[in-house]
């Protein structure tokens, strides 16, 4: 065991990832902390040291092959085995193998926030220079609103995620799709049975992986007295320090109730008096910079179809006041078939991004309610959600 002092922005899963541990190992070693509370900077945690493995060298082994086998870099193996000559491995020798890593850039083993997003965007760009990565605006607190473009085709498909703060698992889904497509494209491999090169010659993906970075950060980390909205946030959250269920942006505005699509009717329906964790549409349509920026991105790019990723319910909302173009219901049925989700013709809902997109452009727009349970969905659901979302995205990419 050794001691670690919690830093601002730390969570149990982020600390666990740092030391290549499972989150449960941190909880077991520190019975004074709970998953129901945010970690306070300055708190001292005990970190259990992960146990290395022992491997017996076989005839024909190479150091690079061993590194690939265990998913760790050669230099980390050599650091634990300085006596080894990597050019002359001897069968029967024992090698100490450090705890492994996945070899991925985007990993679903920690809360995914704005810092993790910016870190991964830089790594993806370095590894896959054909990705276009940029900013389409900034949040209330000045954090970048980032986009990724992949593909060169004429048909433009837009995917956005994490409109709602506690639905940040959708950012992981979007980023994992991008990484897997980019890797398959660079290696000339297939992606779930499809040739990405052919797909990306006929269409392009423009992904906004985290529409609400300020809110995501609040939902994951809570708030400290140094935060510029500290007093207001506590008041809006009924003086509870627990922000796990927070959906809104940092000013307490629900970004998916911010669009000029019968906004006044949505305000009357919600009946929410002021800022809070959810359902407050704001003082006017597009009053929040995050909503205004994503709307301007759609106007500039003229998307042919949009997918807004939310959680939860395993449903697909595809209509808006009969303004959707012909064929939308049929496409929704196809998306339902490949994902296992239920297409729903929604009524009594206005002012959402999908609603506005259909009204503004008369093109197909879909809200995808991924996963099932209570938000925020646990990372244990990620693999299942990704297995549902990947074929859904491919179906949109192959549609006419």
Question: Which amino acids are annotated catalytic?
Answer: 369
First to last CA, the chain: 58
CA 396 – CA 399 distance, rounded (Å): 5
CA 45 – CA 22 distance, rounded (Å): 15
Beta carbons of 114 and 217 less than 8 angstroms apart: yes
C-alpha separations of 128 from 113, 150, 155, 218 in Å = 22, 10, 22, 31
Looking at the chain, how many residues does it have?
400
C-alpha separations of 346 from 162, 295, 320 in Å = 21, 22, 7
DSSP H stretches of helix in the chain: 12-18, 23-29, 63-70, 74-80, 114-127, 169-187, 196-202, 213-221, 230-236, 263-270, 289-301, 328-339, 353-361, 382-398
For residue 315, give the 3-state DSSP assignment.
Answer: strand
| Phi, psi for residue 299 in degrees, rounded to 5 | -65, -40
Beta carbons of 119 and 127 less than 8 angstroms apart: no
Closest CA relative to residue 368, chosen from 340, 349, 348, 347: 340
C-alpha separations of 85 from 62, 82, 89 in Å = 10, 8, 6
Alpha-carbon radius of gyration of the chain: 23
What dihedral angle (degrees, nearest 10) is formed by the CA atoms of 126, 153, 353, 324?
Answer: -160
Beta carbons of 208 and 294 less than 8 angstroms apart: yes
CA 81 – CA 64 distance, rounded (Å): 14
């Amino acid at each position: 065991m050794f001691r670690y002092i919690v830093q601002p922005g730390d969570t149990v899963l982020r600390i666990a990832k740092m030391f290549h541990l499972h989150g449960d190992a941190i909880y077991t070693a520190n019975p004074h902390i709970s998953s129901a509370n945010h970690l306070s900077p300055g708190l001292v945690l005990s970190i259990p040291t992960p146990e290395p493995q022992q491997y017996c060298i076989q005839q024909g082994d190479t150091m690079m092959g061993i590194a690939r086998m265990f998913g760790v870099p050669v230099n980390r193996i050599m650091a634990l085995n300085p006596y080894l000559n990597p050019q002359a491995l001897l069968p029967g020798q024992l090698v100490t193998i450090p705890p492994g890593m996945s070899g991925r850039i985007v990993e679903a083993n920690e809360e995914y926030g704005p810092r993790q997003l910016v870190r991964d965007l830089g790594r993806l760009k370095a590894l896959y220079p054909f990705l276009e990565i940029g900013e389409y605006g900034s949040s209330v607190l000045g954090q970048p609103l980032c986009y990724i473009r992949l593909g060169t085709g004429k048909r433009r498909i837009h995917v956005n995620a994490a409109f709602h703060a506690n639905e940040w698992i959708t950012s992981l889904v979007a980023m994992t799709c991008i990484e897997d497509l980019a890797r398959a494209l660079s290696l000339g491999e297939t992606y779930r049975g499809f040739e990405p090169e052919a797909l990306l010659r006929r269409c392009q993906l423009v992904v906004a992986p985290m529409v609400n970075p300020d809110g995501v950060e609040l939902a994951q980390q809570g708030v400290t007295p140094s935060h510029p909205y500290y007093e207001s946030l506590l008041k809006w959250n009924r003086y509870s320090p627990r922000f796990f269920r927070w959906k809104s942006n940092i000013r307490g505005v629900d970004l998916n109730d911010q669009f000029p699509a019968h906004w006044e009717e949505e305000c009357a329906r919600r009946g929410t008096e002021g800022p809070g964790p959810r359902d407050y549409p704001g003082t006017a349509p597009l009053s929040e910079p995050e909503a205004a920026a994503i709307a301007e991105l759609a106007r500039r790019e003229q998307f042919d179809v949009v997918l807004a990723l939310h959680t939860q319910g395993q449903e697909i909302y595809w209509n808006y006041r009969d303004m959707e173009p012909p064929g939308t219901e049929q496409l929704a049925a196809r998306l339902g078939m490949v994902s296992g989700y239920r297409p729903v013709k929604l009524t009594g809902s206005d002012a959402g991004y999908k609603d506005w997109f259909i009204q503004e452009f008369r093109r197909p727009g879909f809200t995808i309610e991924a996963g099932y349970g209570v938000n925020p969905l646990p990372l244990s659901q990620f693999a299942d959600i990704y297995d549902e979302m990947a074929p859904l995205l491919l179906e949109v990419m192959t549609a006419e």
